[in-house]
């Protein structure tokens, strides 16, 4: 199974980019996750929609070929970043690569709410007519990493290939706690199953 990850933060030491890297490393036995950069994407320009810049073409093509997308969003002023919105604007035009694409939304922040407002906005945007993505339903599937700055980076990871029947609403106190816990398991494997159900030709856990 081939997935792509999109981090809404351009910062080099972004917690959300680290979160995507962690997911990719931890579940490497279940899916291949390629993290796409949105740094080089120019501002969306409708005049260039028919023949966009090469960076946009490459970005859109990789999303198109992916079986699913994981988006990690920070929260800026109660919403998603301009960089992420710009990337989604490009994806909403032309071939509309996000149409019916399985999407998982995650987020990490230094605050107590862990990007909850940004995730609400992001889900709304993903459901717009231009994108029409198939987002993993929010009920019991919100993944929020709070106080991400307190404990450093993701470390000590190993894959957990089995289902862990625990509460799916994930409210983790720190990045280190997340890295050492199994709390991510049910959310990740539910998304794998979600992709598999939408794309029957893709077998889960391979």
Is residue 48 assigned to a domain?
A: yes
Is residue 34 assigned to a domain?
A: yes
Is residue 24 assigned to a domain?
A: yes
What CATH code is carried by the domain that includes residue 21? 3.40.50.360
Is residue 206 assigned to a domain?
A: no
pLDDT at position 182, please?
A: 56
| DSSP of the chain | -EEEEEES---TT-HHHHHHHHHHHHTTTT-EEEEEP-TTPPPP-GGGSSS--HHHHHHHHHHHH-SEEEEE---BTTB--HHHHHHHHHHTSTT-TTTT-EEEEEEE-SSSSTTHHHHHHHHHHHTSTTT--EEPPSTTT-EEE-STTSS-S--S-----S---S-S-EEES-HHHHHHSSTHHHHHHHHHHHHHHHSTTSPS--
Say yes or no to pLDDT of 178 above 60.
Answer: no
What pLDDT digit, counting tens, does each position of 90-106 carry? 999 999 999 999 999 99
User: What mean pLDDT do residues 17-29 have?
Assistant: 90
Is residue 186 assigned to a domain?
A: yes
Q: Which domain holds residue 190?
A: 8-198
pLDDT at position 180, please?
A: 43
pLDDT at position 198, please?
A: 83
Q: What is the domain count for the chain?
A: 1
- pLDDT, greater one: 95 or 165: 95
Is residue 203 assigned to a domain?
A: no
Is residue 162 assigned to a domain?
A: yes
Is residue 180 assigned to a domain?
A: yes
What pLDDT digit, counting tens, does each position of 45-93 carry? 999 999 999 999 999 999 999 999 999 999 999 999 999 999 999 999 9
């Amino acid at each position: 199974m081939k997935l792509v990850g999109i981090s809404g933060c351009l910062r080099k030491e972004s917690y959300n980019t680290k979160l995507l890297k962690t997911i990719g490393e931890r579940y490497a036995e279940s899916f291949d996750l390629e993290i796409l950069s949105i740094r080089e994407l120019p501002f969306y320009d409708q005049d260039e929609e028919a023949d966009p810049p090469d960076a946009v073409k490459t970005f859109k093509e990789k999303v198109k070929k992916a079986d699913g997308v994981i988006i990690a969003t920070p929260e800026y002023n109660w919403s998603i970043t301009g960089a992420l919105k710009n990337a989604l604007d490009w994806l909403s035009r032309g071939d509309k690569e996000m149409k019916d694409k399985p999407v998982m939304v995650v987020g990490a922040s230094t605050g107590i709410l862990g990007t909850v407002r940004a995730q609400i906005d992001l889900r709304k945007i993903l459901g717009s007519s231009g994108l029409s993505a198939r987002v993993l339903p929010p009920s019991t599937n919100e993944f929020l990493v709070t106080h991400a700055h307190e404990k450093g980076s993701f470390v000590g990871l190993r894959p957990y290939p089995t289902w862990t029947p625990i509460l799916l609403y994930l409210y983790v106190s720190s990045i280190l706690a997340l890295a050492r816990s199994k709390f991510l398991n049910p959310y990740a494997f539910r998304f794998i199953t979600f992709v598999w159900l939408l794309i029957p030709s893709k077998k889960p856990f391979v």
